[in-house]
Amino acid sequence: MSSFILLFGCLLLGVLLQRVRNFPPNTPLVLNQFIIYISLPALALYFIPEVALDSTVLLPVGVAWICFAGSALFFWSLGKAFGWSRKLIGCLILTAGLGNTSFIGFPVIEALYGQEGLKTAILIDQPGSFFILSTVGIAVAAAFSRGTTDAKAIAKKIFTFPPFFSFVLAIILNLLNLHFSDDVKEVFQRLGSAVTPLALVSVGLQLRIERKSKHWRFLILGLTYQLMLAPLLIYTLYYGIMDLRGEMIQITIVEAAMAPMITACIVAATYGLKPKLANMMIGFGIPISFITLAFWYWLVQGI
Sign of the CA dihedral 82, 100, 47, 126? negative
Residue 41 lies in a domain: no
State the Cα–Cα distance between residues 93 and 267, nearest whole angstrom: 12
Q: How far apart are CA 167 and CA 154, in angstroms?
A: 18
pTM, to two decimals: 0.80
Q: What is the CA radius of gyration of the chain?
A: 18
pLDDT digits (tens, 9 = 90+) for 272-291: 999 999 988 988 898 899 89
Is the residue at 151 inside a domain? yes
Rounded distance, CA 220 to CA 218, Å? 5
Per-residue pLDDT at 56: 66
Residue 30 lies in a domain: no
In whole angstroms, give the CA distance from residue 20 to residue 135.
Answer: 37
pLDDT per position as a tens digit, 89-129: 999 999 999 998 877 787 788 778 886 787 788 788 877 88
With a CB cutoff of 8 Å and minimum separation 6, the contacts of 212 are none
Q: State how far the Cα of 6 lies from the Cα of 287, in Å rounded to an integer.
A: 13
Does some domain include residue 144?
yes
| DSSP bridge pairs for 260 | 99
Q: What is the CATH number of the domain that holds 283?
A: 1.20.1530.20
Intervals of the chain under pLDDT 70: 1, 3, 53-56, 115, 147-150, 209-210
92 in a domain, yes or no? yes
How far is it, in rounded angstroms, from Cα 180 to Cα 191? 15
Q: Does residue 52 fall inside a structural domain?
A: no
36 inside domain: no
**Run of H or E including 296:** helix 275-300
Give me the domain span that covers residue 150: 59-207+214-300
- CB neighbour list of residue 258: distance below 8 Å, 6 or more residues apart: 99, 100, 101, 104, 105, 108, 289, 293
Start-to-end CA distance of the chain, whole Å, equals 26
Q: Is residue 150 part of a domain?
A: yes
* Total count of domains within the chain: 1
